Amino acid sequence: MRIVALAGGIGGARFLQGLKVAAPDAELTVVVNTGDDITLYGLRVCPDLDSVMYTLGGGSDTQRGWGRQDETFRVKEELVAYDAPATWFGLGDLDMATHLVRRQMLDAGFPLSAVTAALCERWRPGARLLPMSDDRVETHVVVDDDATPGNRKAIHFQEWWVKHHAALRAHSIVAVGAETATPAPGVLEAIEAADVVLLPPSNPVVSIGTILQVKGIRDALAGKKVVGLSPIIGGAPVRGMADACLDAIGVETSAQAVGRHYGSELLAGWLVDTTDAGVTVPGVEVRAVPLLMTDVTASAAMATAALELAGV
């Protein structure tokens, strides 16, 4: 069976661990959001690609959800001592090697998809990881500019998410570059060949939503069986701050609202948690199953339920 998943970072990575257990013989391709990517100190950091790669490769810090296990932050402490900019973003010492290799390959002219494949030679995630695009797409958030009251400014998503904990009201969220970006090599072909496409419980706005903005991806999904899993349980995001993102696009933070936001154009099936049993999405088959990814067994059960709902 050929499965394609569109994934963001932490929630997506956790679900994919369960999917690998639920469908060990499936050919799995993961199309990963790159809108969170940020350039710092000349290094290109790709949080979602790295979260998926480390998590499926067995090297992630399962507590933090991002970055490496057994990580240290000595370089970061030195950057703080130099009062360097952006030290609010915690670059770990082990993680740094990934960014150095990526920077070197990008500078040598390799596209992000080739860099990702090279990094996965080491981590062996047990799935093919594809960036949604080799073109630069960066999510920026429009917030009030306190320096000039009444004016607004756009800040990088990571600054909003990590430095400000998404506490600044987001007037809009813009995937800069999405309008001209093209899908990375293999993305459209993988979707075309898929028996099923899954939308893990990633952030529906800045992860799944960003991937869907890359030209051609939404159209490629039109003819496919797509099943999604709600990242919202009982009116709240399971982790992260998807509610702040949903507010920015005027979508209520509920399993029903997110399902309807994706809509029947995209979804054939929508899995909600048992807390949200009774949710309806016009034109979409909805089922209620436990959606808390407390461990890989729980994630595997969710993945099985999603594949069953897809009828594969």
Interface with ligand FO1 (CB under 6 A): 8-10, 36, 45, 47, 50-51, 66-67, 89-91, 95, 158, 161-162
In the bound complex, what is the minimum distance in angstroms from residue 253's beta carbon to ligand FO1?
17
Minimum separation from the CB atom of position 181 to ligand FO1 (A) = 18
- Please enumerate, as own/partner, the contacts of 78-81 that have beta carbons within 8 Å and a separation of 24 or more: 79/41
Q: How far is the CB of 213 from ligand FO1 (least distance, A)?
A: 16
Q: How far is the CB of 9 from ligand FO1 (least distance, A)?
A: 4
Of 90 and 311, which has the nearer Cβ to ligand FO1?
Answer: 90
The CB density around residue 224, as the number of other CB atoms within 10 Å, is: 17
Nearer to ligand FO1, 123 or 161 (CB): 161
d(CA 75, CA 206): 29
Nearer to ligand FO1, 165 or 218 (CB): 165
CA distance 51 to 303: 19
- For ligand FO1, which is the closer residue by CB, 177 or 269? 177
**In this complex, which beta carbon is closest to ligand FO1, that of residue 9 or of residue 177?**
9
Nearer to ligand FO1, 213 or 256 (CB): 213
CB 281 within 8 A of CB 206: no
Cβ at position 233, least distance to ligand FO1 in Å: 18
Separation between Cα atoms, residue 56 and residue 263, nearest integer Å: 29
Residue (157 or 270) nearer to ligand FO1, CB: 157
Burial (CB < 10 A; 0-12, 13-18, 19+), residue 285, is middle
Nearest approach, Cβ of residue 209 and ligand FO1 (Å): 12
**Backbone region of residue 282 per phi and psi (left: phi > 0; alpha: psi in -120 to 50; beta: other values):** beta
Least Å from the CB of residue 159 to ligand FO1: 10
**What's the min distance (Å) between Cβ of 161 and ligand FO1?**
5
The residue among 204 and 269 lying less far from ligand FO1, judged by its C-beta, is 204
* Position closest to ligand FO1 via CB: 90
Alpha-carbon gap, residue 112 to 133, rounded angstroms:
8
